[in-house]
Amino acid sequence: MNRRLVAAIACRNQGSRLYGKPIQNLDVERGIRILDNIVDCLRTVDCIDEIVLGISEGIENEVFKNIAEVKGLRYVVGDQIDVLSRLVMCGQIAGATDIFRITSESPFLYFEPIENLWRRHQEEQADATFLDDIVDGCGFEIVSLKALEKSHAKGDIKHRSELCTLYIREHHQNFRIIKASPPMELIRKDLRLTVDNPEDLVVCRIVYNTFKSSTPRIPVTEIVAFLDANPKLIELTAPYTEAGYANMYRWGAQ
């Protein structure tokens, strides 16, 4: 059977620390938003067959419908809390066998290994392939639609939240899982490249504008080198790194 990999991006504007994270501008002058750079980068990855937005219900999220229409993307609208259901709906509407998952507030994807990991995911008939332990915001997950559907059916409220693969991680013995590792230089728990706070946005804007000529494919290794050369930027987001990594990867007993 031919496998079909669909990138599903869950979108919502609610946020207690920073409202409208996916539509915050990386380039204020040109109006390039976080979600724009994500979509534009994904479109350069040959193995991703389609990108679908999983939009949360609510008038405040209508903007994502407009973005989808302008960019020629399909979208679904679903429950605000049940993020997992929106990812499943994205896969179903696009005829996916597998979902490529990233978050809508993380503009700089570690794109280089995607093709090889997708090939390995298929060859090993994996239910899930996780690229963990990378700079916060740069990793991704490839999960079969069947595994996500099973997670939704058997899991509870916490498993249907934004922790969409928590059920698989807690019941890893029941799934075929590939745990991929990034290069050592990208295992940096003192850094974060996801936008959850105003300070994160400041850093990501500076990074984007520094590497503007490389967009949308900005190598994360180059970003890390840039941040190391500018320690004041690392200090800006330092208060948020510990909590961010503590909640990131939750596994059941190994």
pLDDT tens digit at each of 254 positions of the chain: 789 999 999 999 865 557 789 999 999 999 999 999 999 999 999 999 999 999 999 999 999 999 999 999 999 999 999 999 999 999 999 999 999 999 999 999 999 999 999 999 999 999 999 999 999 999 999 999 999 999 999 999 888 888 899 999 999 999 999 999 999 999 999 999 999 999 999 999 999 999 999 999 999 999 999 999 999 999 999 999 987 676 655 544 44
pTM for this model (two decimals) = 0.93
Q: CA-CA distance, 120 to 102, in Å (whole number)?
A: 19
Q: What are the structure tokens assigned to 22, written together?
A: 């996916």
User: Does domain 5-246 sit in CATH 3.90.550.10?
Assistant: yes
At 96, give phi and psi (nearest 5°).
Answer: -75, 145
The CA radius of gyration of the chain, in Å to the nearest whole number, is 17
Residue type (1 letter), 47: C
Query: For residue 52, with 0-12 CB atoms within 10 Å meaning exposed, 13-18 middle and 19 or more buried, which class applies?
Result: buried
Q: Where are the domains of the chain?
A: 5-246
